[in-house]
């Protein structure tokens, strides 16, 4: 059986918890995480 699936690149992205999420957290990381999750195999962490 032939495997024609394209292998996605893997992304590891972490943020440091500093309390309440801020607009900077959202614009700097969380929004990009959502965008990356569609095209990559992603691992996110805090």
What residues contact 28, with CB distance under 8 A and at least 6 apart? none
- Render pLDDT for 12-32 as a digit per residue (tens, 0 to 9): 998 877 777 778 877 878 888
Asked whether 42 and 13 are in contact (CB, 8 A), the reply is: yes
Q: What is the pLDDT of residue 3?
A: 62
How far apart CA 11 and CA 27 sit, in angstroms, is: 18
Q: Are 34 and 42 in contact (CB under 8 A)?
A: no
Predicted local confidence at residue 2, as pLDDT: 55
Residue 19 region, left (φ>0) first, then alpha (ψ -120 to 50), else beta?
Answer: left
What gap in Å lies between CA 39 and CA 34, rounded to an integer? Answer: 10
Mean pLDDT, rounded, of the chain: 82
User: Which pLDDT score, from 0 to 100, does residue 9 have?
Assistant: 94
């Amino acid at each position: 059986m032939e495997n024609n699936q394209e292998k996605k690149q893997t992304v590891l992205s972490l943020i440091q918890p500093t309390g309440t999420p801020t607009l900077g957290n959202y614009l700097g990381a969380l929004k990009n995480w959502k965008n990356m999750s569609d095209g990559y195999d992603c691992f996110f962490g805090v």
